[in-house]
Every structure is written in C-alpha cells, then in structure tokens.
Amino acid sequence: MGRIAYVNGRYVPHDRAQVHIEDRGYQFADGVYEVIAVHKGMLVDADPHLDRLDRSLRELRIDQPMSRRALMAVIRELLRRNGIRQGIVYMQVTRGVARRDHPFPKVSVPALVMTASRKPPPDLSVLETGKKAVTVPDIRWGRCDIKTVGLLPNVLAKQHARTSGAYEAWMVDAQGNVTEGSSTNAWIVTREGQLVTRPTGNEILSGITRASVMDLVKREGIDFVERPFTAEEAKQAREAFITSATSYVLPIVQIDDAVIGNGKPGTIARTLLQAYLAHMEGAGASR
Ligand code: PDD
C-alpha cells in the first residue's frame, strides 16, 4: 500500500503531495506544526496537542484551517488510509499562499498538510544504555513557546549532535542555563536527588510530554521543582533525561565529556518511562 498524505482538503499519494512555491511556510516559515504519537492504534495526548496547535495559530494570528472535530476526522482517516497503528502524525498549518511580501496578505486561506509515518514502538533497551547529549549555544528567537516551522537553529543544533556522536543537543542561554533540547525538553535529577526542569515561558516549548510526565511525577510523589538549571549543574547531576512525543522519556548518560551518575540510566528516568508507557495506553490514549 502506497503512502498517502493530506494536502489542503485532498488525500494524495505521498510522492505527489505538493504545495505552491509561494506558500508562506516555504518562503517565510510563516506556519506552525504538531507531532502526535500513535501507539497501539491510539493517539497519545491528542487534545493537549491540538490545544497547543490552536494556541500557536492564535499567537501568529493565523486562522484555524478547520474545527477540532474535522481535524480529528482527517487524522483518523489518514491513519486508516496508511494502515498505521504505531508511529506519528505530523500536521502543519501555514498562513497560506500569497504573492511574496512580508506583511500578512489581506486575503489568505490557511494551508493544512498532514503526513503519517510508521515508527517502531518504544525501544526499551535504551533503559539499559541511555543516550549522549552535547551542549550548544541557544541562538533562537524570543518566542520559542510557539511551535513554528522555523526550526533552522534546532536543525543546526541536532546536526551538531549527530556529527558529535550524540543523540540530542541541549541548548544553553546567555546566562549558562539549559533551555531545552533541539526537539525535546530537558530534565535533571540533582546530586541531592531533586528532579528539576525549566519552567515554561517564551524561551522553551511547553512540551505535551513534559506536562504529562509532570502529572506522573506528582502522582509518584517524586521530589520536584521547576527552575532554571545550568549546563554545569546538569553535568554534575545524578540523572538526566529528555521528553518528547517521539522520544517519550529518554535517559541521557553523558553530556559533552561528563558522564552522568554512574553512566547508566537512573531510577527516576526508568520509573517515569514506565509510568509514561502506561499513560500512553491509558489516560493519554484516544481513538
Ligand atoms: N518536537 N522542545 C522542542 C524544541 C520541540 O521541538 C519538541 C517537540 C519538544 C517536546 O514537545 P512534545 O513533548 O510536545 O513533543 C520540546 C517534536 C517531536 C518534533 O519537532 O519532531
């Protein structure tokens, strides 16, 4: 069965799915996106992801392309047509097509494209090994809370991670504090055993996985605080991990040259991954 994409009202073969050259997403990165995980045929945390999509659109004053109900129907139909029970749905909304000019066009119809990809289920062997992160300066703009398709600094950071043999890049602001990963939120467990993650604000994306994990942290009664932490503190931490819709809860065992804890994933990351897997199949799941 060939892959099918959704483009502005039509389901089309993936290799022939196209948008106009003057789509403002293409020319100005004038658009937003969401990635929702599909696990055992269910969408994970669909409502919070679509709430965040609405917020991103509102912040950029792009009209909603369709109602929540209609959007959910397209998502389900796309998954059905692609036969996907394990993977991700990617959706992107741009301000639409208009003759190239910086100000918002007087008339434009938001453009919606969607793809669905197959992806294997969570690889639990990562709980034995963990992954490496490297630090990079955070060179992004002042509204990282909006999930825009303008991801060039994130792309450069991730590429730096890859060429350094690392899985993720942790971005560091001018004060030396870690903002977030290039496509994940960052967490540490301090030497004293307290779980720490940076508070939401304009400097980071308010991760949906972050929010779900935070609920699990409260339920498990884990000692926790939201505050900025420096790259140096992270390197001396007992544990480190990242969260995202596609990485779930993923232990980090090395940051730059510093080995975290004993070089193995820690107990809090393990506990939270197990709890998150249960959440994916339980409270977070919707058809
Ligand atoms: N990235 N921070 C950034 C910069 C991100 O791009 C993402 C998600 C996150 C985690 O957010 P969530 O838990 O809602 O997935 C944090 C997606 C997965 C991506 O760009 O592919």
pLDDT tens-digit profile of 58-92?
A: 999 999 999 999 999 999 999 999 999 999 999 99
> What atom in ligand 1 is closest to the CA of residue 52?
14
Give the number of the atom of ligand 1 that is nearest the alpha carbon of residue 247.
Answer: 18
> What is the rounded CA–CA span in Å between residue 20 and residue 123?
38
**Residue 210 CA: which ligand 1 atom is closest?**
13
Residue whose CA is at the smallest distance from ligand 1 atom 11 = 207
What would the pLDDT profile of 7-62 be if each residue is shown by its tens digit? 999 999 999 999 999 999 999 999 999 999 999 999 999 999 999 999 999 999 99
Give 219 Cα–ligand 1 centroid separation in angstroms: 23
The superfamily in CATH containing domain 126-286 is: D-amino Acid Aminotransferase, subunit A, domain 2 (3.20.10.10)
Overall average pLDDT of the 233-257 stretch: 97
Which residues are near ligand 1 (CB < 6 Å)?
35, 154, 180, 183-185, 205, 207-210, 243-246
- Are 4-118 and 126-286 the same fold in CATH? no
pLDDT at 123: 84
Q: What is the widest separation between alpha-carbon atoms in the chain?
A: 58
Q: Where are the domains of the chain?
A: 4-118, 126-286
Domain 4-118 has CATH 3.10.20.740: no
Q: What is the pLDDT of residues 135-152, one digit of tens each?
A: 999 999 999 999 999 999
pTM over 0.85: yes
Q: What is the arithmetic mean of pLDDT over 126-136?
A: 93
Ligand 1 pocket, mutate which of 173, 183, 210 (most atoms under 8 A from CB): 183
